[in-house]
Chains A and B, each alone.
Chain A
Amino acid sequence: MTLSGVQLVALLMVVGMFLLFILGGLGSKLRQASDYGFSGSYTGLVGSGAAIASNWMSAASIMGLAGLFYLKGYYAMAFVIGWTGGYVLLLVLLATQIRRFGKFTAPDFVGFRYESATARTVVALISIVITIIYCVAQFRGIALLVSWIFGLEYQAAVITGAALLVGFVVVSGTLGVIRNQSLQYFILITAFVVPLMLINRKLGYFWVLPQFGYGEAVVTLQQQFGYYWSEPFASIDLFQWMALCFTLMFGTAGLPHVLSRFYQAPSMRDARWGVVVGLFFISLIYWSAPAYGVLARLFDARSGNPYKIPDPSQADLVTLTASLQAGLPVWAVGLLVAGGMAAAFYAAAGLLQSGAAAFAYDIYPRLLKPSATDADKVTVAKGVFLVLAVMVMLLSLNQVGMIAEIAAVAFALAGNTIFPAFLLGIWWSRTNAAGVLSGMLVGVLITVSTPLLGDLIPWVNTVFPLTSSAFIGAPVVILVMIVVSLLTRPPSDEIVTFLIRDVHDSGGK
């Protein structure tokens, strides 16, 4: 149902879903960490896992991944493996130890571990840049959905989406922060999977578990239309694929808002088991996302265009277009739109708030106004939130890439900087401030080397691709950190003792 080009039912479902989250949050009496810009509260293993999964879900997972499968087939599998495999690294190498550190943010952790205000400031700056890049991906998702709901051009939709986001956070205040993350996760997964079940049912496939049922579409494409959608490494070579996959893994273990989950876990056991449940919940999304891609391909083939070269600017909307092509009821399409909008909106709002908090609490009082009071910091955080939102909006006006690929750049930066800083900070007590600062500087340079030097030095494009630079980059950064640390003064005895006694629980032996 449309009114002057506005998709009314979808709009009502979006509004309804946001109201549900706010009302669900009002009932929550659980602990908050919103002072640090992080949303969320949870209890028990399922709650802990849902918090991890809900924190993870964004436009990249709900919209971007299906778009990549639709456009590039097996290539997108690097995202599935990278984004799930990264949690193994996170769990076995970092999660428990981060919880033992007892710090609340990545800058807090680095500042304490390396006994350096400079390192803390650098990590805060890197976190803000990661926030901006990640938010550009979310804004793209918001803009595409706003464009569809209101019938707007892309740029007008970016501005409208940004205004809606800022308005939502300003009007709702702390209510705009998700409080009941279990509720959010289960609503989002329902909004993502139910339309998929309906499409499978309409096509006569096994719809109870659409994560398996869609396989028939792959076979139909091959047998009836001669289109081998799942052909491995058709659009990318093995090295590039591996580079992307491992970059996403290192980035997953280095993203500040992912690491933040472990500072807030009620106990170390919760921190660890939450990963297992959370990874299962995240996998439910990734077992489902390829289905939208292949089903949209099947609809293209059925309409007489099996070898269609899709428009990349529209591929991120493939979950929606597949549902429309399948002729799903308007409420199911609305559910999908509301889910995508909520994932992108809350991810962007949460990231902008944590970016603003990083500036207000880690940079402003250290570099700009040492005498800042708590009230000053809150005012600065609000101002920086608006500044960041405007910056992200301006960067989003041009369609620079697909949602998942933009997000991958943020993963590359995190994988080249924060991941090595945490890894060595926990597992090698000799790492010092000079080492970590040099390493992170090299990491930043590696991340931007392709756009900066790619034309002058062609091999840089191959070794450090923009979305996949951490595969080679992270080991190089680790090496730099080790060499510089060995050449400079070791960290204090206090921090080494803390690592031995408190972080590795070795009782000083």
Chain B
Amino acid sequence: MSDQKERRRSINIFLPLPGTMQGEVRVIALLLLAWLASVLGSQLGIWLLERSADGFWLTDLIFFNLPIHFWISGQFLPLLFIGLCLLFNLWMDRHEVRHMESTIRFRATGRKKGEVAP
């Protein structure tokens, strides 16, 4: 019981507090996973192809006027990062509006969303 109480009285990204923080941490985890997978995955893939299929094969494969690996690293990944930031902000905007609405409702009625008056 005291452990639970202690946990509720602290911030830990791996044990987010119930409510607003849980949703936020979930989104952060998903975005960081996509971020990590895109960087590690793309470079590992390029490295493996360069090793196994001869690097010149990659340099001869042209996409958007550039060798494919060059386009992925130099143009696609920064674009993807912008997209991830965009998704995060859209989610945070909605999240903040929802949080604000529930706070106002609680202050006005003393009840949480879905809670029925006695």
Q: A212-B64, A429-B12 are in contact. Are A275 and B73 (CB under 8 A)?
A: no
Tell me the complex Cα distance, A290–B88, Å.
29
- Say whether B79 faces chain A, with CB atoms less than 8 Å apart: yes
Q: Are A233 and B47 in touch, CB under 8 angstroms? A: yes
**A275 vs B50: C-alpha distance in the bound complex, in angstroms?**
34
Q: Are B92 and A499 in contact (CB under 8 A)?
A: no
Are A429 and B11 in contact (CB-based, < 8 A)?
yes
Flag if B55 contacts A500 (CB, 8 Å): no
Chain B 56-92 interface mask (CB, 8 Å, partner A; 1/0): 1011101011110110011101110110111011001
Please tell me if the beta carbons of A232 and B85 are within 8 angstroms of each other in the complex.
Answer: no
Q: Is the CB of A81 within 8 A of B78?
A: yes
Interface residue? B99 (CB, 8 A): yes
User: Do A429 and B56 have beta carbons less than 8 Å apart?
Assistant: no
Residue of B62, B78, B96 near A219 (CB, 8 A) is: B62
8 Å CB interface, B28-71 against A: 28, 31-32, 35, 39-40, 43-44, 46-47, 50, 55-56, 58-60, 62, 64-67, 69-70
Overall SS of chain B's interface? helix
Is the beta-carbon distance between B78 and A272 smaller than 8 angstroms? Answer: no
Query: Cβ of B13 < 8 Å from any Cβ of A?
Result: yes
A427 and B18 within 8 A (CB): no
Q: A85-B81, A92-B31, A92-B32 are contacts. A287–B75 as well, Cβ < 8 Å?
A: yes
Asked if residues A269 and B47 are in contact (CB atoms below 8 Å), the reply is no
For the complex, give the distance between the alpha carbons of A286 and B44 in Å: 22
Q: A84 contacts which of B19, B66, B69, B77 (Cβ < 8 Å)?
A: B77
| Residue A218 interfacial (CB < 8 Å) | yes
Within 8 A of B (CB), among A211-245: 211-216, 218-219, 222, 228, 230-234, 238, 241-242, 245
B65: A residues at CB distance < 8 A: 206, 212-216, 219
Number of interface residues of A (CB under 8 A): 59
Interface pair B50/A233, CB less than 8 Å apart: yes
* A414–B69 CA distance with the chains assembled, in angstroms: 30
> B82-117 interface mask toward A, CB cutoff 8 Å, 1 = contact, 0 = none?
101110110011001001000100000000000000
CB distance B78 to A283 under 8 Å? yes
- Give the complex CA separation of A283 and B79 in angstroms: 8
Question: Does B2 touch A at the CB level, under 8 Å?
Answer: no
CA–CA, A509 and B18, complex, Å: 7
A153 within 8 A of B: no
A428 touches B11 (CB 8 A): yes
**Are the C-beta atoms of B85 and A504 separated by less than 8 Å?**
no
Residue of B24, B32, B59, B103 ringed by the most chain A CB atoms within 10 A: B59
Q: How far is the CA of A245 from the CA of B78 in the complex (A)?
A: 13
Asked if A109 CB lies within 8 Å of chain B CBs, one says no
- CB of A77 within 8 A of chain B? yes
A287 and B88 form a contact (CB under 8 A):
no
Chain B minimum-CB-distance residue to A231: B55
In A225-283, the 8 Å CB interface with B consists of: 228, 230-234, 238, 241-242, 245-246, 269, 272-273, 275-276, 279-280, 283
Query: Bound state CA distance, A213 and B66, in angstroms?
Result: 9
Our pick among A92, A272, A430 for the contact of B28 (Cβ within 8 Å) is A92
Q: Please state if A215 and B21 are interface contacts (CB–CB under 8 Å).
A: no
Given A85-B35, A427-B11, A504-B21 in contact, is the A80-B59 Cβ separation under 8 Å?
no
| Interface: A376 (CB within 8 A) | no
Distance (whole angstroms) from the CB of A22 to the closest CB of chain B: 32
State whether A238 and B82 are in contact (beta carbons under 8 Å apart), knowing that A85-B35, A290-B74, A427-B12 are contacts in the complex. no
Contacts of B5 in A (CB 8 A): none
Least CB distance, B85 to chain A, in whole angstroms: 5
The distance in angstroms between the C-alpha atoms of A446 and B73, with both chains bound, is: 29
Per-residue interface assignment for chain A, residues 78 to 111, with 1 indicating a CB less than 8 Å from any chain B CB and 0 otherwise: 0011001101110111001000000000000000
B23 to chain A, nearest CB (A): 11
In the assembled complex, the CB of B91 is this many whole angstroms from the nearest CB of chain A, namely 10
Query: In whole angstroms, what is the CA distance A204 to B112 when docked?
Result: 66
Chain B residue contacts of A222, Cβ below 8 A: 59-60
- Closest A residue by C-beta to B77: A81
Interface centre among A216, A233, A241, A426 (most CB of B within 10 A): A233
User: Which residues of chain A are within 8 angstroms of B56 by Cβ–Cβ distance?
Assistant: 228, 231
Q: Is residue A74 within 8 Å, beta carbon to beta carbon, of the partner chain?
A: yes
User: Contacts of B21 on A, CB cut-off 8 Å?
Assistant: 504-506
Residues of A within 8 A of B35 (CB): 85, 88-89
> Can you pick out 19 interface pairs between chain A and chain B where the beta carbons lie within 8 Å of each other?
A80-B74, A81-B73, A87-B81, A87-B85, A91-B85, A91-B88, A206-B65, A228-B55, A230-B66, A231-B56, A231-B59, A232-B47, A286-B74, A429-B10, A429-B12, A430-B10, A500-B17, A504-B11, A506-B19
Known: A238-B47, A506-B21. 11 other contacts (CB 8 A): A84-B77, A85-B39, A92-B88, A215-B64, A230-B70, A232-B47, A232-B55, A429-B11, A503-B11, A504-B21, A506-B19
